[in-house]
Chain A
Amino acid sequence: MVNALPASVDDTHALLAAGDYVADRSLATALYLSLSLDRPLFLEGEAGVGKTEIAKVLAATLGRDLVRLQCYEGLDVASAVYEWNYARQMIEIRLAEADSETNRESLAQDIFSEQFLIRRPLLRALTPHDGGARVLLIDEVDRTDEPFEAYLLEVLSDFQVSIPEIGTIAADTPPIVVITSNRTREIHDALKRRCFYYWIDYPDAARELEILTTKAPGAPENLSREIVGFVQALRAEDLFKLPGVAESIDWAHALMQLDRVDLDPDTINDTLGTLLKYQDDIARIQGSEASRILEEVKAGIRSDAATR
C-alpha cells in the first residue's frame, strides 16, 4: 500500500516514530524538506547512528520499494546504472543471421533496445512503476571515487539517465533519495549543493533511552538506564571508535540473551566486544576503567531516583 507523503514537519516526525525511528525534530525538518521539495537528503555522521535506517524506515512506512546502491571504489555505470545483456545480444545476432537479416540499421536498433537492458539500482529507481516513487538509498557514497560522484550529479539534479544507444530515460516522479556518508573522504560541494544536508549526532541520554525502549523493548528499565549511562560515559572517553546507537542496541540484546537484569564489571568485561570494535579501545576500558565508569553511572542513577 502506498502512503502519501507527510504534509508537515509534525507529520514527518510522527511517520518516523511509526516506523520505530526515534528522531530529533531537526532531522524531521530536513527530511520533510527533502520529501516536499524533491531533493535528496544527504546524511553524514559516525558509523552506527542510524543513517541507513532512515531510508529503510521511509520505505516501510510510506509503502514504497527500497532500491539500495551500496557504493565501493571503482563502482561504474555497468554495475550502478545499466548494462547490456551481451549474451542475449549475441544470440540475437546469430538468429538474425539465420533469418538472413542483413539490414544493419534495423539490427542495431533491435539489439540496443530496452529488452536487452539489464537495469541496475539507479536506473531501476528512475523507471516508472505503479507503486509510487521509490526510495533510493545511495549508501556510503564516500567509498566510491570522484568520477562516480560526478556522474551522480546528472542523476540527482534532473533524475534522468542518458544511455547513448537509446537516449535519455527520465523519471516521471522523482524517487525519494537518501545519501549517506561516513566521511572517510570529503564529498564534493557540487553534490552536496543539490541536497539537504544533515549531520546525525550521537543522541543525548534521554533520546538514547527512548531509542532503547523502542528497539529493545524486552530489556528491564533499570538495565536500559545503566546501558545508556555507560555508553554515554564511554563517548566522553578518548577512544578510537566511539560506540554508536547500533552498538548500544546490540549490547542490550546481548545482555538480555545472557539474562542479565543489572550491569556488573564481569559482564561488562565479557561483552565489551559488542560495544568497542578496536583492541586498543577494549584494552583501555576493560577491567578497572570499566568498574570505575560503572560505579559513576550507578551513583548517577541512584541520585536521579532520589531526586525524583
Chain B
Amino acid sequence: MSIGKSVKRVDGYEKVTGRARYTDDFFEGKFLIAKVLHSTVANGWVKSIDTSVAEKLPGVVKIATCMDVPDIEFPTAGHPWSTDPNHQDVADRKMLNRRVRLYGDDIAAVIAEDEVIAKRALALIKVEYEEYKPFVTVEEAMSDDATQLHEAFPKNILKHTAYELGNFEEACKEEGLKFFEGKYETQTVQHCHIENPISYAYMEKGRIVVVSSTQIPHICRRVIGQALGLPWGKIRVIKPYIGGGFGNKQEVLYEPLNAYLTTLVGGRCVKLELSREETFVSTRVRHAMTFYLKTAVRADGRLVARKIEGYSNQGGYASHGHALIANSTNGFRHLYQEEKALKSDVYTVFTNISSGGAMRAYGIPQMIFACESHMEDIANGLKIDPIELRKKNMMKLGYIDPLSGIECHSNGLAECIEKGKVAFAWDEKRAAFVNQTGPIRKGIGMAIFSYKTGVYPVSLETAACRIVLNQDGSVQLQLGATEIGQGADTVFTQMAAEIIGLQVEDVHIISTQDTDITPFDTGAYASRQSYVSGMALRKTAEEFKGKILAYAHEMYKHPIYMMDIVAGNIVKKETGKIIATVGNVAEEAFYSLTHSVHITAEATNQCKSNAFSFGACFAEVEVDIPVGKVKVLRIMNIHDSGIILNPQLAEAQVHGGMSMALGFGLSEQLLFDSKTGKPLNDNFLDYKIPTMLDTPELEAGFVETFEVTGPFGNKSLGEPPTIPAAPALRNAIFNATGIAINKSPIMPEQLVSKFKENGLI
C-alpha cells in the first residue's frame, strides 16, 4: 500500500544532483539562437520595419518580421480544443504582429549564430510606428476615446456575462435588512517560475520537432499546427522536466514562432529562450480585477441577497480570456449560499498591458480577496465573530450548484476552520487585541475558500494512460499528464503500485512527454491531474492487473478471482500465500514457446464529475504603524483536499502556494506607466517576491475527507494553497489597526497613507 505514504519523490535524486534534464539540457550539438524584437510603444501600428543593416551583421542568419509571417490568427490558451466553434478560444494574434497592443508585443525575430550577435542585430532593426494613446486601466479602455484594439470587440470588451438566481431587487425589499457595499481591487502579478519559457525547434523527415518547457505538450502540438497552418501530425512536441509553470506554461507562447523559425533556416535547430524581463512582460500575468460587492444581510448574519460586479483587465490579447472572471463569479456563488438571490455581472476588457492568462487558482485568489474582505467588513459591521458569520453561510455537504450541477460530496470546511481556530487561540487573541494603542499593534485574521477539481463540465476532461510490462515483472508507466514540479510523477507511481499491487520501486514512470509516443492528456492545470488523470491511471492499472492475473491463471490454474497481487507477488486472496512473483509470470509471458504475449494496457478515461475542495488560512501580524510595515508572526493553511496521497509532497505544495500568496497579499505587483504603458519593474529587484527573510514558518494542516468521485478519495490541492492568505492577512491588519484595506498588495506606502488619513499617524 503506497497511497497516503510520504513516498520519496521519484525525480528527487535526479533533481538535487543536477542530473535531471530540463529543456536547456536537452539538446546537444550545434544550434542557432533566436531573439524576439519587442515593440517600444504600447498601442500602435508598425508602419515600416527595416532589417537591412541588421541582416548585414556577420553571424545573422535570418530575420523574420511581422510583415512576412503567415497570415494566420490563432488561439494561444491551453484549453482543450472544442469542436464547437462557439466554445473555441479567441484567435486574435499572429506569430508576429503589425498591430501593436502592448509595450513588448512581438514584431520581429532574429536568428543568429550566438546570443550576442542576435542582441546586436535587434538593436540594428529600425521600426517606424503609428502611435495611439495607450490605456492601462479598464475604465480608460471602456471610455469613448480609447482606440479599439481588436476588430471583433467593440469598446474593447472581450466578453460580458451575467446571471441572476432569484430576484435581487425583490430580495432586498425584506424589512430589517442591513446592506454592505464595497469596492475591492487586486493587482497584476506574474508567475515568476524560475525557468523562463524556452524551446528548441528543428526539422526531421519533413516534420517539425519542438522541445519545450510546457505544461501541456499535446495542446502545444495542436496550437503549433494551427498557427503554422500545418496538419497537427506534422508537429512533434517533447516536454522534459520543467522549472515551474504555475499556469504561464498552460499557454502556447513562443513555440509556434520557434517552429516557424526553424522552417526558415532549413530545419536547423533554433533555440528561443526568453529573458526574465521578457517573461514578465510578453508572456502572461494574473489578471488585475476590480469587484463591486453588495450584500443584504439579516442582523443575525444570514446572507439574504448578494450582488457581484466585476471587471478583469485582460491586457492586449485574449489568451484564456473571460474564463478567468467567469470562474471568479462561479467561485463566489459556490463558497456561500445566500437565502434568496444572487446577481452577477462580469466583464473582461482589453487594455495595453501584459496579457492576463492562467495563473494558479484561475481567478479565485482575486475573488476571494474581495469576498473574504467583504465578509470581514460585514462581520465587523454586525458585531458578529467573523468565523460565526462564515459558518452560518458557507457551503454545506450535499450542495448542488444550480448552474453547473456540481455536487458537494465531501466537506471538511468546518473542521478546517476549527483546526485553525484552536491552533491560533482565536477567541483569546481576538479579545486580547481589542483597543490597542501605540506604534506597534498585533492582529489576527482568517479567510476561507472553496475550489473545484478540473474543468468539468465547462470543458472536456479526458486522460489516457499506458502501462507496459517488463520481463522482470516491473512496469513502465506513461501518461500525457505532466510533472511540473508538483510531484505528479511520484503520486502516479504510487497509484500504479497501489492498484496493480507492485512495489513503488518496480514502477518506472516515464517523465518526458513526447506527443509521438505518449498517450493523450490535456496536461497540468486546474489541479486536475491526480483526479482526472488518476482516474485514467486507475482504469488502466485495473485492466493491466486483470491481464497479469489471467496469465497467472494459465500458469497456475487457480481461478482469477482466487488470486491477488500484493507487493509484487501473486498470492492466494484468502490466505495471502505466495504462488509466484509477477516476475515469474512476466518471464513466462514473454518467452513461452506456446503462448507468448507482451502484456500492456492502455485506456482513455473521460471524466464527467467534479469535486469541491476547501480550506482556511489563519494569520497573525504585527503592524509597525509609523513606517507601515507588516510582520507576519504566524500563518497557517488548513486544507480539505480529500484523501492526501503523499503527506510530505502535499505539505510542500501548501508551502509553495502560501509563499506565492504572501507576495500577492503584501508585496508583488507588476506596474505599468500610465502614460506610455511601459512596464516599470520587470525584474526581480523591483518586483518584490518575498525572500526567506520575509517569510515566517509556513504551517500546513489537513482535514482528510473521502471524496467519492475521486479515484483515491482525493480532490484538488495543486492550486488551492495560494488562495486564502491575502485576505487573511488583510483581515489581520484590520484587526490590528481598525483600518480596512481593499486594495492588494497591502504595501507600506498604502498603509502609511491610510494611517495618516485615519489619524493613526
Do A and B interact? no
Using a CB–CB cutoff of 8 Å, the interface residues on chain A facing chain B are: none
Using a CB–CB cutoff of 8 Å, the interface residues on chain B facing chain A are: none
